[in-house]
Amino acid sequence: MINRHSHEAVLAVLAALAIAVLALQSAEFLTPANLMNQGRLMTEVALVALVMTFVIASGGIDLSVGSIMGLSAVLLGTFWQKMGMPLPLAMVLVLFSGALCGLFNGFIIVRFGMPPLIATLGTLALYRGLAEGISQARSVRGWPEWFAQIGQGSFAGVPVQVWILLAAMAVAVVILGYSRWGRTVYAIGSSETAARFAGLPVDAAKYAVYTASGLAASLAAIIFVSRVSTTRSDMGTGLELDVITAVVLGGTSIFGGRGTIIGTVLGLVVIQALESGLSLAGIKGDGTIVLIGVVLILTLLASTFAESRARA
């Protein structure tokens, strides 16, 4: 048991420690208003990271999520303003097209056996290029008030997108931790060959995780557009790195077969707490980036060490 959850334990201690220390450094850090606000700021990365946990646990990776986010943002503006569709329909179509982008990733990976790193590196460029071509570098503005509520409003004192995130977390925890689908993902990540011989639906599971990854990126795009009230084709640039950092910090093995949603959530919390807390404590942005890199490496070292001790 210690063996299996040692990383989450290390991370939980680290998160508690970081929050305690940062709260001492700045009186504004551990306030309900700031915590809600940080939840608002981390939702887009967190949504994509939840699904990325599945992708990486299955032994894959998806580098195209940032580009799918940019393409989805541009498509939302195009569908709604340039084509005159009702906004709810445009939102549904954007989610659909995001899922389609993910499905296409899955298609290249499954059908042609291309390594996910290469396949999604290619679609990273492809989807970003499409976003730039379709947007013609114009942004779409003037969103209706109800739409702005998704990214800027609150429900029962909690930002609207945090409710969406909490719901997505619950679903992800159940699927990865307690369902046959989740066990299939781990099995593929541990040994794809063994999973195939065991008669597991390997191809279907891979299609599913990449499609879900695209869907999450397009949902993140809708929330982001609502939060900043404009569309740009460069939205989501570099998102993949933030997401993968959180997932790996959360203990998901980059080789597949291991990883939990709780770990990813803890990883997200540690990063967000450091970014916000250090900024409030008066440390500049470049210092924060350095510290996050150091924390990532030290945490993984500590958990590898704890694991080898537990095994021995």
Partner 1 sequence: MKTQFLRSLAGLAGSTAIALAGVTAPAFAQWTGGDDLPTNPLSCDASTPAPAPVAYNGGQPADATAKAGMNLRVVDVPKLVGIGYFNATSAGVAEAAGDMDDMSATTDGPAQANIDDQITLIDNYITSGVDGILFAANDPVAIAPLLRKALGAGIHVVGYDSDAEPDAREWFINPAEFNGVAKTLMDELAQQVGEDGSFAIVTSTFTTPNQARWIAEMEAYQSKCHPDMEWLESVEAQEDNILSFNQAMTLINKYGDDLDGIVGMTSVATPAAAEAVTQAELCGEVAVMGLATPNAIRPYIKSGCMEDAVLWSPVDMGYAALHVLRAAVGGTLKPGDTTVEAGRLGTLQIVNGSEVLLGDPVVFNAGNVENYDF
For residues 69 and 132, what is the distance between their CA atoms, to the nearest angstrom?
Answer: 12
Both structure tokens of 67: 């580009």
| Alpha carbon distances (Å) from 188 to 193, 213, 281 | 8, 17, 44
Distance (Å, whole) CA 241 – CA 248: 10
Minimum distance of partner 1 from residue 303's CB (angstroms): 28
CB 72 within 8 A of CB 94: yes
Q: Which of residues 46-65 bind partner 1 (CB under 8 A)?
A: none
Name the segment binding partner 1 (CB under 8 A); options: 98-106, 125-133, 158-166, 298-306.
125-133
Tokens describing residue 6: 């040692």
- Do 172 and 261 meet the contact criterion of CB atoms below 8 Å apart? yes
Sole binder of partner 1 in the list 88, 115, 129, 177 (CB under 8 A): 129
- Angstrom distances, CA of residue 30 to CA of 27, 143, 187, 270: 7, 33, 40, 14
The smaller minimum CB distance to partner 1, of residues 115 and 129, is found at 129
Give the nearest distance from C-beta 112 to partner 1 in angstroms. 19
Among 3, 20, 37, 174, binds partner 1 (CB under 8 A): 37
Pattern of binders to partner 1 over 255-284, x per CB under 8 A? --------------------xx--xx-x-x
Distance, in Å, from the CA atom of 107 to the CA atom of 105, rounded to the nearest integer, reads 5
Residue 108 CB, nearest distance to partner 1 (Å)? Answer: 16
Q: Which helix (H) or strand (E) holds 115?
A: none
Chain residues 130-169 in contact with partner 1, contact rule CB under 8 A: 130, 132-134, 136-139, 141, 148, 152
In the complex, minimum distance from the CB of residue 32 to partner 1, in angstroms, rounded to a whole number: 12
Shortest distance (Å) from residue 129 CB to partner 1: 5
Q: What is the smallest separation between the CB atom of 298 and partner 1, expressed in angstroms? A: 22
**Single residue of 191, 227, 253, 296 touching partner 1 by CB under 8 A:** 227
Torsion of CA 36, 38, 41, 43, to 10 degrees: -70
Among 229, 295, 306, 307, binds partner 1 (CB under 8 A): 229
Q: Is residue 237 at the binding interface for partner 1, with CB under 8 A as the rule?
A: yes
Separation in Å, CA 152 to CA 41, 43, 305: 10, 12, 43
From the list 9, 12, 16, 34, which residue makes contact with partner 1 (rule: CB under 8 A)?
34
Task: Pick between residue 41 and residue 158 the one whose CB is nearest to partner 1.
Answer: 41
Residue 201 token pair: 């639906």
CA pair distance 140, 230, nearest whole angstrom: 6
Q: Counting contacts by CB under 8 A, is residue 97 touching partner 1?
A: no
* Residue 128 near residue 244, CB atoms below 8 Å: no
x/- string (CB under 8 A) for partner 1, residues 73-92? -----x---xxx--------
Residue 115 vs 133, nearer CB to partner 1: 133
Which of 46, 78, 72 has the alpha carbon at shortest distance from 235?
72
The CA-CA-CA angle for residues 80, 83, 89, to 5°, reads 45
Instruction: Give residues in contact with partner 1 (CB under 8 A).
Output: 26, 28, 33-34, 37, 41, 78, 82-84, 129-130, 132-134, 136-139, 141, 148, 152, 224, 227-230, 232-235, 237-238, 275-276, 279-280, 282, 284-286, 289
